[in-house]
Amino acid sequence: MSETTRPRIGMWLSLAAILAIVIAMVVVFSSGFGKDPSLIASPLIGKPAPEDSLAYLEQDGVLSLADLRGNVVVVNFWASWCFPCRQEHPVLEAAAAAYADEPVRFVGVVYQDEPRRAIAFLDQFGRAEKTAYVIDPESRVAIDFGVFGVPETFFISPDGTIMAKKTGPLSPFEISSTIDTLLAGGTPGDLNEGQTQKQSGG
Amino acid sequence: MAATLGILGVLIALISSITLAFQGFKVQFASTKTPVTRLKYPVYGLLGGGILAMLALEIGLLSNDFSLAYVANNSTSSTPLLYKMASAWAALEGSIVLWGFILAVFVATVYFASQRLHKPDALGAGALAIMGIISTFFFGMMLTISNPFEVCTQAAQVGCMATSPFPWVHAQAALEGFGPNPLLQNHPLMAIHPPMLYIGYVGMSVPFAFAMSALMIGSGGTDWLRRTRSWTLVAWVFLTAGIVLGGLWSYEVLGWGGFWAWDPVENASFMPWLAATAFLHSAAVQSRRGMLQSWNFVLVISTFSLTILGTFITRSGIINSVHSFTQSPIGPALLWFLAVTLVLSFGLFATRSHMVASAPRLDSLASREGMMLANNLILAVFTFVVLTGTLYPLIIDAITGSEVGVGRPFFDRLAVPIGFLLLLTMAVGPITPWRSARGAVVWARIRNPLRFALAVTAVGIVFGRRSLSVVLAILLGTFVIAVVARQLWDTSRRRAESRQENLAAASLYTMRSDPGYWGGQIAHVAVAILVIGIALSANLSLRNQVQLTPGDTTRFAGFDLTYVNTFDRVESNRFVTGALIQVVKNGRVVAELQPRLNQYANGRESVASPDVRGSLAGDLYLSLRAIDERQVTLDLFWFPVLWMVWAGGFLVSVGGLWAWLVRKPAREELTTTGQPA
């Protein structure tokens, strides 16, 4: 008896599984119809920022985002091979100087780049005030933040919540208005999308 | 006229496909009495209709027949001949016509092969019926939601505003067409890359159709595998070449210096390639040892489903990508086709698998079949990783409503170790004996290659850079190449000695004696070259951005680059602005490069055309970013040994081609096999 029924139960189970997977697939895919897929916000907004530790680029020791609690934190992912980052670099420098006396900290995370080249980049274009330049050799932090090109910038509130994200280079106005809103305890609005660069060469 | 001809072709093909599906099943169930030749007329009808539709589209394009809406919206009278022809697949509706045409050709070849058997052929008739269903779907789409032969009833100044699906209504031809997408008329590769991919995609429907037919008959065995071997190989060769050409296109057109970005559309072609590669290997295990029967069904269904998924991803507009088509009703239709395919094929497999699978047990994991199993598992994991990364944004969007991107780091971190594992199985697998391998035999075969690889790597470490991925790529890559070289040398030398032949003749004989095996070895060497090329060019590349005024010279990667002057010219379909850059190395002018910006009439943004000077040492790659009277902004790239990427990529196809072209050696002439026992 069981000899003949067992394969039948298995068969019905697998049929049910196939049907369930396919229905789920149809639901997921059809939810995408009629939307513009090029607008990508971060699902991390409103969530606590990842707290991985990051080694400093030019000195010993590590930095954890948790250490910066109480400050507005601007986390910027950049690389020496990234051309939009060159355009953005002076904007970040100016902002770091302007907010030097406020509880605002800047973190520059080097994304998919060699420390040597990143340091050469800073030698050439300058270092911003009160900015921690850190490296992310295995892209662990970049994956946690869902980075898919540089530059990308995240704004974190004093209690450690990700409040806003900007894809592409920041303008002076975007950076100051977002920081001011966060300092005042408000919620910044959407930032416009910009062009990022994926790493080339493979 | 083109519209009438085209619709006629589509109608004939559609009616023939439906007939083929019904008649095919009838012949399958009564195959002892009914010969396959009963299917002659539906097959001829499908082939004729497919050819007629394709021809009509090309005639419309080449004769600037702007009364066809497709021609008005995707071509102009000034488009160069090559791109006019390629416009047939540069947009949504036309690409479906090419798909249907290729499918019709495959159906015809399956029919002719089946007819040559000169005996009742239930398996072949069932396969033809399945292919009839698939072509019913594609030609059905052409007649309804994706009609490329709609006529223009209200012309705009450039292009067509309103259309009608009926060819006999009064057509109002536009004076001039809108022209193809600028990106798609910027490089001749556009003319061959998509057809190659489509042949690869559509070709995978043949083993799928035979597998379904075998399941319906309920007979297992290697019959369906053996009979579809040629088609699988051909499809795989074209798919491989199509993917490599796609990389080349990306490198030469997009101006970012890269050739692979884990873009959803690239992934869409890579996933069926991975599954098909696994299938080629496990099919070899089944033909040789009768194992992995159920697994082969799973792989062949997955491969076919992934080609449909890929078609869906590129045509639904639900995933953001450089080369996806716009949103249209084709998306939902393809989704339903995919869903029905998955339910019916896996459902049939679930109910019938006990009838077709009776597998001998694996004697030992340390054996050729054990290594093939390992390779299949790694390839399956690889496919799953790419699938997950590609679909993750959609799944998250559906569940949480927020939109997220999966970037390159995710794919790179998983793909690199998986790739190295694959290289390892490539080195050891092919020289491992079947059934059960003694360690001593394997060690004797890999000892010297391993020493050689270690020596090369040591030299590389001393003189070069020490990044882990470069070291591993060189170590494993040279190991794979050395194992194959030792194997070929050993076998041919023994033959040369015993028969007094010269070594070249003996090695050619060896490679021809077992083309399946040696084709695989060519492909393995090719993958090793490809991996070394990718690792070196990615890790040792140089990049810089400079701004130059006329007469300025900059030093980059050992070259002196002088910005001579700006030039512009009008070509038939575009306005070209460029910078003339003189390249000097060691005091000698080695090249004059002309990176350009091309402005097309129907494009808002100009398209950069990089200029590349290739050499054995590497590629000097200049891409124009901005230009005005006073200065140019140039992206400079240096990619060492990039030729290895292209050479390796195309050699992978050559491996498949070898296995296909040299197959069926004359048995009386070739008595021994070059393969180790």
B630 min Cα distance to partner chain A (Å): 20
DSSP letter, residue B68: B
Are the Cβ atoms of A33 and B327 closer than 8 angstroms?
Answer: yes
pLDDT at residue B446 is higher than 70:
yes
CA distance B44 to A20: 40
Are the Cβ atoms of A37 and B319 closer than 8 angstroms?
Answer: yes
DSSP string, B313-368: HHHH--S--TTPPPP-THHHHHHHHHHHHHHHHHHHHHHHHHHH--PPPPS-SSSH
Question: Which residues are within 8 A (CB) of A123 and not within 5 positions of it... i.e. 6 or more apart?
Answer: none
Give the largest CA-CA distance in chain B. Answer: 84
CA distance B344 to B40: 27
Question: Which residues are within 8 A (CB) of B615 and not within 5 positions of it... i.e. 6 or more apart?
Answer: none
B411 min Cα distance to partner chain A (Å): 10
For residue B672, name the pLDDT band (cuts at 50, 70, 90). very low
Cβ–Cβ pairs < 8 A, chains A and B: 134
> Is the ipTM here above 0.90?
no
B545 in reach of chain A (CB within 8 A):
yes
pLDDT for res A200:
45
Higher-confidence residue: A37 or B218? Answer: B218
Residues of chain A neighbouring B625 (CB-CB closer than 8 A):
83
Across the range B277-302, mean pLDDT stands at 90
A89 min Cα distance to partner chain B (Å): 15
Handedness of CA A17, A19, A22, A27 (dihedral sign): negative
pLDDT at residue A38 is higher than 60:
no
DSSP letter, residue A161: B
B400 in reach of chain A (CB within 8 A):
yes
Tokens of B201: 């995609």
pLDDT for res B318:
65
| Distinct helix (H) and strand (E) counts, chain B | 19, 12
CA distance B36 to B110: 11
Across the range B244-259, mean pLDDT stands at 88
pLDDT for res B559:
94
pLDDT at residue B355 is higher than 90:
no
Which amino acid type is present at position B369? E
Percentage of residues in chain B with pLDDT exceeding 90?
49
Return the top range by mean pLDDT from B171-175, B295-299, B433-437. Answer: B295-299
pLDDT for res B500:
81
**Size (chain A), residues:** 202
Are the Cβ atoms of A143 and B398 closer than 8 angstroms?
Answer: no
Measured between alpha carbons, how far is residue A131 from residues A100, A166, A172 in Å? 10, 18, 17
Across the range B515-520, mean pLDDT stands at 91
pLDDT for res B573:
74
Residues of chain B neighbouring A147 (CB-CB closer than 8 A):
407, 409
Higher-confidence residue: B369 or B209? Answer: B209
Which of B307, B312, B315 minimizes the C-alpha distance to B243?
B307
Which of B143, B158, B149, B129 minimizes the C-alpha distance to B22?
B129
Interface of A with B (CB under 8 A): 7, 11, 14-15, 18-19, 21-22, 25-35, 37-43, 45, 81, 83, 86, 112, 138-139, 142-143, 146-149, 197-202
**Nearest chain B residue to A19, by CA:** B343
Could you tell me if B242 and B272 are in contact, meaning their C-beta atoms sit under 8 angstroms apart? Answer: no
For residue B400, report the phi and psi dihedrals to the nearest 5 degrees: -105, -15
Could you tell me if A199 and A112 are in contact, meaning their C-beta atoms sit under 8 angstroms apart? Answer: yes
CA distance B542 to B635: 11
Across the range B374-384, mean pLDDT stands at 94
Across the range A93-110, mean pLDDT stands at 91
Question: Which residues are within 8 A (CB) of B30 and not within 5 positions of it... i.e. 6 or more apart?
Answer: none
pLDDT at residue B557 is higher than 50:
yes
B255: left (phi over 0), alpha (psi -120 to 50) or beta: left
pLDDT at residue B664 is higher than 50:
yes
pLDDT at residue A6 is higher than 60:
no
pLDDT at residue B369 is higher than 50:
yes
Across the range A173-189, mean pLDDT stands at 82
Which of helix, strand or coil describes residue B1?
coil
A102 min Cα distance to partner chain B (Å): 32
pLDDT for res A37:
47
Residues of chain A neighbouring B637 (CB-CB closer than 8 A):
200-201
Measured between alpha carbons, how far is residue A93 from residues A168, A174, B637 in Å? 16, 14, 27
Which of B396, B397, B405 is closest, CB to CB, to A148? B405
Tokens of B126: 């069932």
pLDDT for res B313:
84
> Could you tell me which residues are beta bridge partners of residue A76?
A108, A153
Across the range B582-605, mean pLDDT stands at 84
Residues of chain B neighbouring A25 (CB-CB closer than 8 A):
338-339, 342
Which of B258, B404, B408 is closest, CB to CB, to A40? B404
Task: Please tell me the least confidently modeled range out of B29-43, B128-142, B472-486.
Answer: B29-43
CA distance B292 to B256: 43
Higher-confidence residue: B333 or B318? Answer: B333
CA distance B76 to B86: 13
Are the Cβ atoms of B261 and A147 closer than 8 angstroms?
Answer: no
User: Whole-angstrom distance between the N-terminal and C-terminal Cα of chain A?
Assistant: 59
Higher-confidence residue: B221 or B586? Answer: B586
* pLDDT one-digit tens code per residue, B471-483: 999 999 999 999 9
Could you tell me if B87 and B79 are in contact, meaning their C-beta atoms sit under 8 angstroms apart? Answer: yes
Across the range A144-158, mean pLDDT stands at 85
pLDDT for res A12:
84
Burial of B214 (0-12, 13-18, 19+ CB in 10 A): buried
pLDDT for res B59:
96
∠ CA B524-B527-B529, nearest 5°, is: 110
**Nearest chain B residue to A20, by CA:** B343
pLDDT at residue B350 is higher than 80:
yes
C-alpha count within 13 angstroms, C-beta hemisphere, residue B472: 13
Which of B49, B2, B13, B326 minimizes the C-alpha distance to B152?
B2
Q: Strand A104-110 and strand A72-78: pairing?
A: parallel
Q: Is omega for the bond preceding B515 within 30 degrees of 0, making it cis?
A: no
Q: Strand A152-156 and strand A131-135: pairing?
A: unpaired
> Could you tell me which residues are beta bridge partners of residue B448?
none
∠ CA B360-B362-B367, nearest 5°, is: 135
pLDDT at residue A201 is higher than 60:
no
Q: Strand A131-135 and strand A104-110: pairing?
A: parallel
Higher-confidence residue: B319 or B309? Answer: B309
Are the Cβ atoms of B320 and A37 closer than 8 angstroms?
Answer: yes
For tokens 């882990």, the residue is B468
Are the Cβ atoms of A148 and B347 closer than 8 angstroms?
Answer: no
- Chosen for mutation from A12, A29, A124 (greatest number of chain B CBs closer than 10 Å) is A29
Could you tell me if B522 and B651 are in contact, meaning their C-beta atoms sit under 8 angstroms apart? Answer: yes
* H/E stretch holding B470: helix B468-499
What are the start-end ranges of the H helices in B401-467? 408-428, 439-463
Are the Cβ atoms of A139 and B409 closer than 8 angstroms?
Answer: yes
pLDDT at residue B609 is higher than 90:
no
CA A77 to chain centre: 7
CA distance B115 to B63: 39
For tokens 């050395």, the residue is B482
Beta-carbon neighbour count of residue B586 at 10 Å?
8
Measured between alpha carbons, how far is residue B281 from residues A104, B79, B361, B520 in Å? 58, 44, 18, 9
CA distance A118 to A58: 10
**Size (chain B), residues:** 677
CA B675 to chain centre: 29
Across the range B77-94, mean pLDDT stands at 89
Could you tell me if B17 and B42 are in contact, meaning their C-beta atoms sit under 8 angstroms apart? Answer: yes
CA B536 to chain centre: 24
> Could you tell me which residues are beta bridge partners of residue B163?
B152
Which of A32, A199, A201 is closest, CB to CB, to B537? A201
Higher-confidence residue: B104 or A190? Answer: B104
For residue B321, name the pLDDT band (cuts at 50, 70, 90). low
Question: Which residues are within 8 A (CB) of B321 and not within 5 positions of it... i.e. 6 or more apart?
Answer: B263, B264, B265, B314
Q: What is the mean pLDDT of chain B?
A: 87
Handedness of CA B308, B312, B315, B319 (dihedral sign): negative
CA distance B18 to B30: 19
For tokens 């299949």, the residue is B376
pLDDT for res B331:
83
B543 in reach of chain A (CB within 8 A):
yes
A113 min Cα distance to partner chain B (Å): 10
* pLDDT one-digit tens code per residue, A56-67: 998 888 888 888
> Could you tell me which residues are beta bridge partners of residue B242?
none
Residues of chain B neighbouring A28 (CB-CB closer than 8 A):
391, 394-395, 398
A165 min Cα distance to partner chain B (Å): 12
Residues of chain A neighbouring B391 (CB-CB closer than 8 A):
28
User: Whole-angstrom distance between the N-terminal and C-terminal Cα of chain B?
Assistant: 63
Across the range B395-420, mean pLDDT stands at 78
